[in-house]
Structure 1
Amino acid sequence: MTDLADLEVQVLKGVGASLAQRLAKLGIVSLQDLLFHLPHRYEDRTRVRPIGSLNVGDTAVVEGQVLVCEMVLGRRRSLQVTIRDDTGFLVLRFFHFNAAQKRHLEESTRIRCFGEIRPGRAGLEFYHPEYELEPKPLGAPGTETLTPVYPLTEGIQQPRLRTLCYQALDWLQRYPVREWLPDWLLQQYQLPPINDALRLVHVPPASANTVQLMDGQHPAQQRLVMEELLAHHLSLLHLRQQVRSMRALPLKRPGPLAEAFLEQLPFTLTGAQRRVADEIATDLGQPLPMLRLVQGDVGSGKTVIAALASLQAVHSGAQVALMAPTEILAEQHWQNFQQWFAPLGIEMAWLSGKVKGRTRQSTLAAIEGGQAQVIIGTHAIFQDDVRFDRLALAIIDEQHRFGVHQRLALRDKGHAGGLVPHQLIMTATPIPRTLAMSAYADLDTSVIDELPPGRKPIETIAVPDSRRAEILQRVRSACSEGRQAYWVCTLIEESETLQAQAAEAAALELAAALPELTVGLVHGRLKAAEKADIMARFKAGAVDVLVATTVIEVGVDVPDASLIIIENPERLGLAQLHQLRGRVGRGHAASFCVLLFHPPLSQNGKARLQVLRDSQDGFTIAEKDLEIRGPGEVLGTRQTGLLQFRIAEFERDQGWIEEIREQAPKLMDDAVRVEALIRRWLGDRVRYGDV
């Protein structure tokens, strides 16, 4: 039987090597890929609008006669086509056109076109509208349906993609795609068959419920949503199954070594820390690789948990690699671990992209020779020339800044003697439960849901930047009483250069306004040694005000800092603002966070800042962040390779997550079905634990 997954798109009329290459950029290689390249929205083109009723910004269908078609020379050459109906005139402007197009758009030709109204030099204009010449009257059979809008790539327009999908549907009549959902699942959720669902979403019939279709709630769409979310979940369960089929070194509990470590700490562990530490210790004692995510709010004490896990590996004669996403966070871990582990006689190594030459060579030799027991660094740890002697535990901090592939790459580093390392993933960015179930289905989860005693709540206030002078006075007052302050600069652009310039300007302004105070500056473009020096001086109290970009979001611990001012907080996500706020409130003094916003704020902006004022709970804030910004922003772009859905939308469809989590394990014994579903929806986007 012919399988559409085996038929390449070149079998379609009009698809040559060049178009096939462009389609491949969209992940479309076979006819099945094309059928599963689904509309991300629909447009209602079933009603013609009079030209005289249009306003700038309207998206509409208009119909009229061509009055004139001429080539116009300006800054850019364009084809200008003026059309009219009984109510007015409209210009169609094409910057990309050919002689045949100009010939077809001759005077008196009847035209129906669709586009967005823009202001232009000749009045209202459509830029590059889709159009049809001498069209059938609307209301004729086949013209009452919604028009699908597909994700595109350069060199492919909507009409071309629609035509190809229509052709693919003809093939579907002859060669239906395989139904991979079992009958019991289809019946339980009353889902339509896969082929019916595909036909309906590509060409909705006039009888289809248009409100449901526009909202993504039509049963045919939800049937595909369910299968897509299931495929993503199965891919992570499959990854977990692959890793758990490997062997890991069972690590002995460190006993006296752990006791010596805990005795030197100036605090005792909370109940939550002890519970999570015990969950990890139990996992590490198994011959199966641990896969555990530890979530804890800002200041909950995850680093101590990581240190206890590291001692278990060291006690068993093995190595630990701890990786953090930024130099500052990695350096903070380095300082803490050195302070804790040096008295215990544990050998450590530091590795980042800035470690060069002989120092790097000697560090690599110590890692490969096994002299370095605990290795701390940035993503430089996964580089090819880094070879471990006996890596038994990989600890990854702030996992959402990395991706699943990078996590696998670090795991591969320990693949010696048939053993793979245990993995401990930590994050101070609380992840909403439904999102964690979807994005981290391959991991067990532990939550440190208790803050150390003595952590004071932080009072958060929102102030317009017109009151900047008052805030400067507040900084002066706090510092005169022996406390310290952060001043955080943000920009819309993710450019380190521009962020550095904004921070430099703010530092100069503060130094001029507060001449009696010492102002320090730290940003992403400083050399590691400069950053470390400024942070050390701030920690020692030699700097009163630290001006910084968001590089201080995680990992910086200065107990005397009790005031943080965040400029333009409306530009950041709630979770990131919560992280920044967590830089204060670490000592005994009452602490404050000032959100210095630039008015006017949108309703959404006001609601977001109010959430921060009302709550100190990272999980509550993360749930709100998910509602407002969606999963890609909450997790970070690198993690969301797994969440680039074709038809599912996380916020709209998260009701399926709980159901899928319950049903997916029942399918895992059917390897053919699981592999087919993953291949259909994810293609080659995820490595399934192969080494």
Structure 2
Amino acid sequence: MKQPRSNPAAEAFRVEAAPASVDAGLAAVGSLPGVGPALVERLARIGIVQLQDLWFHLPLRYEDRTRLTPIAELSIGASAQVLARVDGVERGFRFRPQLRVALVDDSRATLTLRFFHFQRSQAEQFVPGARVLCFGDVRMGQHGAEIVHPQYRILRGDAPADLGERLTSIYPSTEGITPLRMAGIVERALARLPEAAALELLPPALLKELGMASLRESLLTAHRPPPDADVAALLAGTHPAQRRLAFEELLAHHLGLKRLRAQVRSRRAPALSGSGELRTRLRTSLPFALTAAQSRVATEVEHDLAQSTPMLRLVQGDVGSGKTVVAALAALAAAESGWQTALVAPTELLAEQHWRTLGAWMRPLGIEPVWLSGKVQGRARERARGAVAAGAPIVIGTHALIQQGIEFQRLGLAIIDEQHRFGVHQRLTLSEKGREGVVPHQLVLTATPIPRTLAMAAYADLDVSVIDELPPGRTPVQTVAIANSRRAEIIERIRAACAQGRQAYWVCTLIEESEQLEAQAAEVAFAELSTALPELRIGLVHGRLKAKEKQAAMEAFKAGETRLLVATTVIEVGVDVPEASLMVIENVERLGLAQLHQLRGRVGRGSEASTCVLLYQPPLSAQARARLAVMRETNDGFRIAEKDLELRGPGEVLGTRQTGAVEFRVADLVRDAALLPLVHRIGEHLSAQDAEAARRIVARWVGSAVHYAGA
């Protein structure tokens, strides 16, 4: 169910109630007749608190009850309304109680109504010859077309059917509120919809130029589509009324993020220019030369850091493109200027990988990075906290760095890795740990390529840099998809590869066996492979291991002591073993494209030709087949990200549940991508010419649904 979720820009648009004559939408939903305290509480659970929240609570779908369909013309899989007579009734109890009613109409075809939950009085209504008006989804049953649990009315005598005059709107609902009841509540709210002039926030001249209807007309059309409305367009979300609403919603989101950016950048940040000595020493000590793309992005970051305006920059780079070096150079610029850097990663494994990598680079320069995560406890934690408070130049850890009680002496730079795993609210919380009246610069890294469309909409508060070049020597990974029935062949392939001195990953999607999912758990796979390959030393890594056990398993694999590593998706990011050139990923039908690409990126990091085997459990859905086809065709992370966005939607690509990223009420970033350039143009115009209208547009669409997911 698609519900409005949090908009990170919302905090920038807290508004006082406008006069009722200007905006009646700010009235509480409890002011509607029949909406008592219990109902108010239930509506609040889905972000509906004010009348305008109901105005923008649009139908999930539409049902056409304005016409009748002869039974002979019914289409399997489609919804239809039928008027027919009862031809026969059967009640069966062989496996479970069920009621079957056979209907016939003038087309002399038969439709079966099937009920699994019914009362005796209900069954007695269906007498042969009774006229029934019913509606539902048609499917193929044992005896032809049938509708399971239809909505129906028994018509008395020759009483008219009284068909609807317009399409029936079906609304998203919540526990304790049926769609029908929700429709009644929305209808009462629409009765208070102001006239067009009082409701409209966009200039009439602009609407005329864009060829768009007023907000009032668009809302009424979306809620009460007339019988001649283009049903296909409404269901696809491309009707002009929906496009008008999507445009304003995208505009509100864009304006909000821009306002948030302006608020942050209105504050002062430390100018981190430094002498450049440490950065020069690091570059000369590295066993590789920076690519042209790394050098370009590092220069962009250094330019931002040298300003007293806070940097807000997102660095995108495909798997293995070398974002860590860019982050290290930024941290050294801060250290040279006497300021601290906090690097936050979403998992213990990735954070520890950064700590070890940066430690190896920084110790020769006289800098010892501090490690602080949730699992660092007792005296070790107190020592780490003390070092942070005393001004340790580089602090690396998980979200534990964001928690209260961690005080920095002079935090000048916050680096957030894998931005899609964090919420904007967490990024801003880290920013508040600055001292001396300044906020730290923000450098956001992601190895999940974000399509330009999504980046424009979701990260409008950030400047974007792209590392679009892989280091020399990297070989493309050959990818094959193989059914699980050929599992024994894959195991033999691993035996042969390891006998030649190669190393391999075997990735599972669960830690423990589950009866509910057809997924091979890591521990079960470890036992199976240990039995099948007794000559190999095999390691095991999953999220429930203790940190020391996990690290020991990883160190043994890196050192070549273990030839095969069985792991869950905790190795998705941050693990770098150049000698590993074979990867098997189980149950790939359960993973999204971005995650599959991240996992595949663990191989192909050396000069050896590498292979990724996608092991799937048939039968595959159409979407799963499409994902596997893309993985076989390309290693280009940005092309994969575009396809992932197309297949799964922005909420999944960004990880909405964890990030606090917006889930739109009307707009769809794939479907409505063509509107974004117009949104940006109008956004710039409104920001410059009518700041009050811009403020109120954001307040209207974000409204009382303001919350940060997971906060």
Displacement of 1:542: 0.4
Q: Cα deviations across residues 587-635 of structure 1 (Å, max 9, x unaligned)?
A: 2211111122233334443332222222121111111111222112222
Whichever residue aligns with residue 444 of structure 1, its letter is D
Q: 3-state SS of the aligned residue for 1:354?
A: coil
Q: 3-state SS of the aligned residue for 1:683?
A: helix
Distance 1:552 1:676 in 2: 45
Whichever residue aligns with residue 166 of structure 2, its letter is T
Whichever residue aligns with residue 12 of structure 1, its letter is L
Equivalent position of 2:694 in the other structure: 674
Which TM-score applies when normalising by structure 2?
0.87
**Structure 1's 210 and 183: CA in aligned 2 closer, same or farther, altered over 3 A?**
same
Q: 3-state SS of the aligned residue for 1:413?
A: coil
Distance 2:670 2:292 in 1: 34
Q: 3-state SS of the aligned residue for 2:506?
A: strand
Displacement of 1:560: 0.8
Equivalent position of 2:447 in the other structure: 428
Which segment is superposed worse, 262-271 or 171-180?
171-180
Displacement of 1:225: 0.8
Equivalent position of 1:168 in the other structure: 189
Matching of residue 5 in structure 1 with residue 5 in structure 2: no
- Structure 1 segment 651-666 matched on structure 2, within 5 A: 651-666=670-685
Equivalent position of 1:314 in the other structure: 335
Equivalent position of 1:115 in the other structure: 136
Q: Cα deviations across residues 196-252 of structure 1 (Å, max 9, x unaligned)?
A: 111111111123233322222221111001001111111111111111111111112
Equivalent position of 1:388 in the other structure: 408
Distance 2:56 2:193 in 1: 12
**Structure 1's 387 and 80: CA in aligned 2 closer, same or farther, altered over 3 A?**
farther
Displacement of 1:478: 1.5
The structure, 1 or 2, with the larger RCO (C-alpha pairs under 8 Å, 6+ apart) is: 2
Distance 2:74 2:412 in 1: 67
Equivalent position of 1:526 in the other structure: 545
**Structure 1's 586 and 73: CA in aligned 2 closer, same or farther, altered over 3 A?**
same
Distance 2:371 2:80 in 1: 60
Distance 2:412 2:90 in 1: 72
Equivalent position of 2:113 in the other structure: 90
Equivalent position of 2:210 in the other structure: 189
Q: 3-state SS of the aligned residue for 1:419?
A: coil
Which TM-score applies when normalising by structure 1?
0.90
Distance 1:69 1:638 in 2: 48
Equivalent position of 2:13 in the other structure: none
Equivalent position of 2:38 in the other structure: 18
Which segment is superposed worse, 128-137 or 574-583?
128-137
Whichever residue aligns with residue 651 of structure 2, its letter is G
Distance 2:648 2:683 in 1: 28
Give 1:585's match in structure 2, choosing from 604, 625, 632: 604
Is contact 2:113–2:150 with CA below 8 Å preserved after alignment? no
Is contact 2:519–2:586 with CA below 8 Å preserved after alignment? no
Displacement of 1:109: 8.5
Q: 3-state SS of the aligned residue for 2:199?
A: coil
- Structure 1 segment 447-462 matched on structure 2, within 5 A: 447-462=466-481
Q: 3-state SS of the aligned residue for 2:670?
A: helix
Matching of residue 507 in structure 1 with residue 530 in structure 2: no
CA RMSD of aligned residues (A): 3.4
Whichever residue aligns with residue 61 of structure 1, its letter is Q
Q: Cα deviations across residues 461-504 of structure 1 (Å, max 9, x unaligned)?
A: 22222322222222112211211111111259999998997111
Equivalent position of 1:44 in the other structure: 64
Distance 1:493 1:126 in 2: 40
Displacement of 1:183: 3.0
Distance 1:189 1:583 in 2: 48
Equivalent position of 1:444 in the other structure: 463
Give 1:623's match in structure 2, choosing from 616, 639, 642: 642
Identity in percent: 56
Q: 3-state SS of the aligned residue for 1:447?
A: strand
Give 2:614's match in structure 1, choosing from 595, 598, 605: 595
Is contact 1:66–1:81 with CA below 8 Å preserved after alignment? no
Q: 3-state SS of the aligned residue for 2:661?
A: helix
**Structure 1's 195 and 79: CA in aligned 2 closer, same or farther, altered over 3 A?**
farther
**Structure 1's 177 and 361: CA in aligned 2 closer, same or farther, altered over 3 A?**
farther
Q: Structure 2, unaligned stretches of length 5 or more?
A: 1-19
Q: 3-state SS of the aligned residue for 1:385?
A: coil
Distance 1:384 1:271 in 2: 40
Equivalent position of 1:229 in the other structure: 250
Displacement of 1:155: 1.1
Q: 3-state SS of the aligned residue for 1:557?
A: coil
Distance 1:292 1:686 in 2: 25
Distance 2:94 2:189 in 1: 42
Matching of residue 272 in structure 1 with residue 293 in structure 2: yes
Equivalent position of 2:14 in the other structure: none
Displacement of 1:545: 0.3
Displacement of 1:124: 9.3
Distance 1:33 1:460 in 2: 48
Distance 2:368 2:704 in 1: 41
Which segment is superposed worse, 127-136 or 628-637?
127-136
Is contact 2:47–2:53 with CA below 8 Å preserved after alignment? yes
Equivalent position of 2:662 in the other structure: 643
Is contact 2:414–2:440 with CA below 8 Å preserved after alignment? yes
Q: 3-state SS of the aligned residue for 2:192?
A: helix
Q: Cα deviations across residues 393-430 of structure 1 (Å, max 9, x unaligned)?
A: 1100000011111111111222x222111100001111
Whichever residue aligns with residue 41 of structure 2, its letter is Q
Equivalent position of 2:497 in the other structure: 478
Q: Cα deviations across residues 272-323 of structure 1 (Å, max 9, x unaligned)?
A: 1111001000000111110000001111110010000000111111111101
- Structure 1 segment 149-164 matched on structure 2, within 5 A: 149-164=170-185
Q: Cα deviations across residues 536-591 of structure 1 (Å, max 9, x unaligned)?
A: 00000000000111111111000111111112222211221111111111122111
Distance 2:622 2:130 in 1: 47
Distance 2:687 2:421 in 1: 29
- Structure 1 segment 114-513 matched on structure 2, within 5 A: 114-116=135-137, 129-131=150-152, 137=160, 143-172=164-193, 178-370=199-391, 372-414=392-434, 416-490=435-509, 502-513=521-532
**Structure 1's 132 and 403: CA in aligned 2 closer, same or farther, altered over 3 A?**
farther
Equivalent position of 1:541 in the other structure: 560
Distance 1:6 1:641 in 2: 24
Displacement of 1:176: 6.6
Displacement of 1:58: 5.6
Distance 1:453 1:63 in 2: 70
Q: Cα deviations across residues 342-395 of structure 1 (Å, max 9, x unaligned)?
A: 12121321111111122212222221232x221111111111121211111110
Which segment is superposed worse, 308-317 or 638-647?
638-647
Displacement of 1:152: 0.9
Is contact 1:45–1:61 with CA below 8 Å preserved after alignment? yes
Is contact 1:350–1:377 with CA below 8 Å preserved after alignment? yes
Distance 2:277 2:409 in 1: 25
Is contact 1:367–1:388 with CA below 8 Å preserved after alignment? yes
Distance 2:702 2:511 in 1: 32
**Structure 1's 65 and 94: CA in aligned 2 closer, same or farther, altered over 3 A?**
farther
The size of the alignment, in residue pairs, is 680
**Structure 1's 173 and 293: CA in aligned 2 closer, same or farther, altered over 3 A?**
closer
Is contact 2:520–2:586 with CA below 8 Å preserved after alignment? no
Whichever residue aligns with residue 113 of structure 2, its letter is L
Q: Structure 1, unaligned stretches of length 5 or more?
A: none
Which segment is superposed worse, 435-444 or 574-583?
574-583
Equivalent position of 1:29 in the other structure: 49
Whichever residue aligns with residue 667 of structure 1, its letter is L
Which segment is superposed worse, 82-91 or 287-296?
82-91
